[in-house]
Structure 1
């Protein structure tokens, strides 16, 4: 990890599967804010989702994210949360990255619709100390504002209505994912037969 004051985007998620919308968000935020890198941090146990429905194994989700960002300048897949194990909390990841690069700035990237739920995140009040919040807005989609007093930026990206639930269903039934998921991710899904066992 760099120790020289890096401007680092942190884009965490379940990525089940990662798709073109994730890629567009990461690329546009990096460009608009002049970030050195954006890490797509794969959750080990996304506790706010795994309690409600099964989640694809972390190793498969990491492989898909690696395929997503392969050959995309400035984007990297990160296994930090998988290596740490247990439930995944953004605050722990940001603290780990801050310790690795005390002089750097971190930018926590979330969909603007997620801003309304930030207060449900673990130790949420530590987040503004560790990172600047980046809200990704899509035209025509209502966006919430972060809690009062939080430093934040807004970045607008093209609207792409892609549902991970729909993608899993399509993959499970052998329907095409082309155009919704980059070719490398499609190949990864096929080679690892990631969604074929779903009903």
Structure 2
């Protein structure tokens, strides 16, 4: 596993072979971060990495200077490896051992980027639940992005807030964003409600 860019560029990280993971390939990871380079300034980003596995994606964000990274996985071995690696390289990664679905339900913080790489054998319904839960619970900020990695056999483009998708070999990255028009409409409605309440109080 190789870090593509940033302060750890070229560094190889070797996780234990017994971890129950399927790391994102270097080719796919490089393509993903080339896309993100055109959308974000990494030094200002807050990141939530779900189904983090070995921490592959978290390390890449940390190497590029992301402000903070939270990594969540349900496997003790994965979380301990992320914790050990983050300490070794002095990376601002906070790992959590948790069931991802339960973590999503209870978490109240929003992030600039939420990345999720569930097991490819998850059902279509499980993938859809991840997307809808993250969006409905407002875990991404107004200008943020949700990225789901999945196989070509899973289809997510029909879900609300779908933006685009990119395929690399057998892997697909599907991107979700809140459109600016939706954000402006929400703000307008909020302003109207406040004015309406004020008028009623004056009466």
Question: Aligning the two structures, in what range does the TM-score lie when normalised by the shorter sequence?
Answer: 0.3 to 0.5
Q: Identify which of structures 1 and 2 has the higher relative contact order when contacts are C-alpha pairs closer than 8 Å and 6+ apart.
A: 1
- Structure possessing the higher radius of gyration over alpha carbons: 2
Output the TM-score relative to the length of structure 1: 0.38
Output the TM-score relative to the length of structure 2: 0.37
